[in-house]
Amino acid sequence: MNLSLITVSYNTKELTLQTLETAIKEINSSKILKDQTEIFVVDNDSKDGSPKACEELLKKLKFPHYKVFANKENLGFARANNQATEVAKGKYIILLNSDTITHKGGLSLLVEAMERGGISEETANSKNSNPLDKIGIIVPTLLNPDGSIQNQGGSLPSLGTVASQMLFLDDIPFLGRFFPSTQHTGMSDFAFASYDENTPKLIFKDWVAGTAMMIRRELIDDIGMLDGNIFMYGEDQEYCMRARNHHWDVVIHPKAKITHFGCASSSSKNAIHGEMKGYLYIWKKHMPTWQLPILKSILWLGAFLRQMIYAIRGKEVPASIYKEARALLK
C-alpha cells in the first residue's frame, strides 16, 4: 500500500460520508493511489448510525481495501487514530478529519512530495530557504468553506511562544508577525510559495494541524504514534515536537488543498479547555518542572483577558467558558 487513510468519526455521519466520498474520488483519479490505498474509519461510539452508513458507502463505491471500527466508547482522537495505525500497511499514513473535503490533488500531491523526500526541494519561507533533509510530516493547505486559507500551525511550544499567543503579542499590527507564537497565522509564508509542480517550494513549520496530517512510516517507527494520553487537542503539537526533536521536517504543501469545516465535531468549549489541558500535559512530559507554574500563570492571564473582553462585548457564553478554563489551571 502507498497510503493508509484514517478518519475518526463521532456523531458526524453526513460530514463523514462526504469526507469519504471526496477522498475516494481523489484516490480513484490518481495513478499512485488507485488500488494502492486502504481506508480505515474509526467510530468513537457515535449514536447516529455512522459505522453502518460508512460501511454501506464503502461497499456501494466498491472500494477494495477498507475496515470500519465501531468502538463501544469514545477513545478520543489520538487513541482512535492509533487503533488503525497499528494495523495500517501504507508507506504513508494520513489522519483525515471527518469534516473535510478533499480537492483534486489533495492527497496525491502530498504522496508525490513524500516520494521525493524533500531532497531537491526548498522551503518557501524566506527565513528557511535551505533544502529540506527528510520530510516526516506533510499537510495540505487547509481552506475555509468560503475558499480562504485556514490558519494552521506555528512555533513549537515554549514559555515565550505561548505567551505571545495568550497575551495577544502576535496580534499587534505590523509587529505581531515578528513574535514567534504557537498559533502564528503564518499567512505571509504563502506569499513565497511556488506553484511549480516540478520543484514546489514547501512551507516549513515547527508544527501543523492534525486535520489532514500525512506521516511517513519511518517516522512512526522512529518516534512512535500519537500520545494516547491526550484525549483531544494538543496531540498534533506534541507529535510534531517529537518529530522535530528527531530531525524530521514538518511542511505544508501550498498546492494540495483540503477544505476543513472546523469545529463540526467539537464545541468551542471542548477546544478551549482541550487546548489548556494539552499545554499542561506537554509541559509535564517535555519541559523542566520549574516552568509549569509560569506556564499556568500565562494561561490563566490569557484566559482572564479573553473572559473580560467577551464580558465587555456582552458575550456571556464564551466568557463563561474562559472562566471555567481558569479553574483548570489551579
Nearest alpha-carbon partner for 137 in 156, 162, 118? 118
Domain ranges of the chain: 3-151+186-265, 269-327
Check residue 265 and give its pLDDT: 47
Asked if residue 216 has pLDDT above 90, the reply is: yes
**Per the structure block, which three cell numbers stand in for 95?**
489522519
Check residue 179 and give its pLDDT: 85
pTM of the model: 0.90
Report in angstroms the alpha-carbon separations of 56 from 51, 76, 210, 264.
9, 24, 27, 23
Asked if residue 75 has pLDDT above 60, the reply is: yes
DSSP letter, residue 80? H
Asked if residue 175 has pLDDT above 80, the reply is: no
Check residue 177 and give its pLDDT: 74
Tell me which architecture the domain covering 3-151+186-265 has in CATH.
Alpha-Beta Complex (3.90)
Confidence of residue 290 (pLDDT cuts 50, 70, 90): very high
Q: Which residues contact 70 (CB under 8 A, 6 or more apart)?
A: 43, 51
- Rounded to whole angstroms, the Cα distance separating 49 from 46 reads 7
- Please state, for a pLDDT cut of 70, what percent of the chain lies above it: 88
Nearest alpha-carbon partner for 41 in 88, 107, 111, 103? 88
User: Averaged over 194-218, what is the pLDDT?
Assistant: 81
> pLDDT tens digit string along 116-148?
875 546 666 645 556 566 899 999 999 999 998
Check residue 174 and give its pLDDT: 76
> pLDDT tens digit string along 36-73?
999 999 999 999 999 999 999 999 999 999 999 999 99
